[in-house]
Structure 1
Amino acid sequence: MAATKAEQENSKIPGSTSIETAPSLDAPVVAQRVGPMEVLRIPDFRWMVFASVFMVFGFEARAAVQSWLSYNLTGSQAWVGIVNGVPSIAVIALSMVGGLAADRFPKRDILLVVRMAIVAMSFLTGYLIVSDLMTVWILLALALAQGSIVAFGMPANQSFVVELVGRDKLMSATSMMQSSGMIGLIIGPAVTGIMIGAWGAGSVYFLVGGLGVIGVVMLMMVKNRSVHRSDDSKSAWGDIKDGLNFVRSDSVIRVLMLLNLLALFAGFIMPLIPVYAEDVFNVGGEGFGLMMAAFGTGGALGTLVLVFTGDKVYKGLLMISTGALFGVLMIVFAFSREYYLSLVLLGLMGATGLAYVITISVLVQSHTPDEMRGRVMSLFGISMQLFALGFLFSGLIAEATSNELALVVGGVGVAVPPLMAYMFSAELRGVS
């Protein structure tokens, strides 16, 4: 397609930002055969993948050290759940605003601002720890601030990939992004455990900040895409209502969003991993890091399988089976007293959990029109944040009753609804 006159003139302005038109999103998927590695031939997508490795490493390392730090500051499962779960409230409150921004402004610019703010927060947190100024209340305040920042950028991050690669490569691209991010999920917690034991929790935050800077530089290499605007004359609230109405009126999207609410119960496992490491298996910080790394390794292997097979499998059945299996594995983990068996269980949970999330994400994006994608993915992000809110409920239940009961509640909550939805929803059985 020939460039418009305005675009041609803008390209001649020294120092102007290059904005490219997104690849066609409306071409039939059957129009070409897409190899699993085809997406890596797109330069901007390659930079996104590289940036994702560093950013996810930082995110997972920060999540791990935050859980460890909150438990060691208080000795309370409830506080682990509070520090990790309360920030999800900020995400739920601000995600629709972030989704509206993603539909109105260049997504790469939004991501740059968000990630630079997260880098600054990491350095600040590290300074407070090494200066012996950290308390659990300050840690909670910092977690809330970070949750607000993440909320604003999440819809842009989730909906940018399809603009880089097009719908026909979306499953492979999404799986590739998750798989590359799993490198951080594998290495991040393991390195976190080693660094906590050797130099303290503050060193982890400084490492996270440094790697975040590298990720920001790589993201700068990605060119902006044009923005698909639906109606500039509408108010922000009018645009948000349009997004809500679309989700409510589309039967497939509605069922998928409801199933994504199961993230609340899936999150029950995470705040209890440091508790099991410290009180059940007595393996300390390094053992805790290996447990988190096992979860990440399973996730990486699962997403790698989807890179090669995701566009060929029946996605509805894949989503149901992986969701149900995740819940069963959580219940088995609850009663395991063998450390190495628990590592295997966590690995399998990582594989099934990530496959479930990726499949729902791809189905939601592929069934959503371009001009609605930011707002719809913001709602998807809200439901995903229930995963973190599950930290809160899990910690409270475990504190009041037992670790085992908390995990059984979570496992049943994850396993049963997908099976029921598959039995009673014709829309879900027909989705592909």
Structure 2
Amino acid sequence: NLILLGLIPNVLLHPVWFMLPVFTVDVLHRNVEVGGYLLATTGAGGLISALAIASLGFGINRGLVCLFSIMFAATTTILFAHSQWLFLAIIFIGAMSFGQANFRTSSSTLIQSLVPDQLRGRITSLHMYSQGFVFMSSLAVGWLVDLTTVVVALTVIGSAGLVLGLISYMILPRVRDAR
């Protein structure tokens, strides 16, 4: 279940990063430098997530951390799509990458702790395999941007991520209860 759940942030939400140049020009009406700042902010969000987890841990329920991280990343994707001010865009893209990094770390930790030793390498490989699908979803999101606007495309993928996260919360009790 965790491997399938990883498709939401890794395949569905991650293409937001590749739409930053279009977003920067079409929504923020800024130049290429600003797109670089937004991309750097994604790294800062991931770093803050790593520092928070290293300092505070996951708490009691790592499964809920996974699920809430997906929903948080999806919600901040929607908010990012509608942010026309640079300051808000920086906050929301940083928060989105915080949620993605939080999911990746918590799901990897859960997989490592729940999988028997003799299967750990194979399962970890499957877990990383999902990241290979990002190029296909990025092409689809780019196509959606061409058909509509970058705001509509990011709102659609953020909304899809949020709906899938909520459905996962409801139908995956093993993940929800994973410690």
Q: Structure 1 length as normaliser, TM-score?
A: 0.39
Code of the aligned partner of 2:168: A
The aligned counterpart of 2:34 is: 287
Residue 334 in 1 paired to residue 89 in 2? no
The aligned counterpart of 2:5 is: 259
Measure, in 2, the Cα distance between the counterparts of 1:305 and 1:313: 15
Residue 400 in 1 paired to residue 129 in 2? no
How far did residue 279 of structure 1 move?
A: 3.2
Give the structure with the higher percent helix.
2
1:366 to 113, 116, 124: 113
**Aligned partner of residue 267 in structure 1, secondary structure:** helix
**Aligned partner of residue 281 in structure 1, secondary structure:** coil
How far did residue 412 of structure 1 move?
A: 1.6
How far did residue 310 of structure 1 move?
A: 2.2
Identify unmatched segments of 5+ residues in structure 2: none
Answer whether contact 2:2 2:111 (CA < 8 A) is retained. Answer: yes
Measure, in 2, the Cα distance between the counterparts of 1:334 and 1:270: 12
2:69 to 312, 322, 335: 322
How far did residue 337 of structure 1 move?
A: 1.1
Identify unmatched segments of 5+ residues in structure 1: 1-254
Measure, in 1, the Cα distance between the counterparts of 2:90 and 2:58: 30
Alignment of 1:1-150 (within 5 A): none
How far did residue 385 of structure 1 move?
A: 2.7
Measure, in 2, the Cα distance between the counterparts of 1:283 and 1:429: 41
Measure, in 2, the Cα distance between the counterparts of 1:421 and 1:287: 35
Measure, in 2, the Cα distance between the counterparts of 1:302 and 1:359: 11
Code of the aligned partner of 2:164: P
Measure, in 1, the Cα distance between the counterparts of 2:58 and 2:173: 21
Code of the aligned partner of 2:41: A
**Aligned partner of residue 83 in structure 2, secondary structure:** coil
Alignment of 1:227-238 (within 5 A): none
How far did residue 390 of structure 1 move?
A: 2.3
Code of the aligned partner of 1:261: L
The aligned counterpart of 1:88 is: none
Say what the alpha-carbon RMSD is for the aligned residues: 1.6
The aligned counterpart of 2:169 is: 422
Answer whether contact 1:330 1:407 (CA < 8 A) is retained. Answer: yes
Measure, in 1, the Cα distance between the counterparts of 2:168 and 2:29: 40
Aligned residues: 178
How far did residue 368 of structure 1 move?
A: 1.8
The aligned counterpart of 1:103 is: none
Code of the aligned partner of 1:258: L
Measure, in 2, the Cα distance between the counterparts of 1:357 and 1:391: 19
Code of the aligned partner of 1:321: F
Answer whether contact 1:268 1:410 (CA < 8 A) is retained. Answer: no
How far did residue 338 of structure 1 move?
A: 0.8
Q: Structure 2 length as normaliser, TM-score?
A: 0.91
More off after superposition, 382-391 vs 284-293: 382-391
- The 4+ residue runs of structure 1 with deviation greater than 4 A are none
Measure, in 1, the Cα distance between the counterparts of 2:27 and 2:58: 41
Larger radius of gyration: 1
**Aligned partner of residue 29 in structure 2, secondary structure:** coil
Answer whether contact 1:266 1:411 (CA < 8 A) is retained. Answer: yes
Measure, in 1, the Cα distance between the counterparts of 2:58 and 2:96: 22
Answer whether contact 1:281 1:337 (CA < 8 A) is retained. Answer: yes
Alignment of 1:343-358 (within 5 A): 343-358=90-105
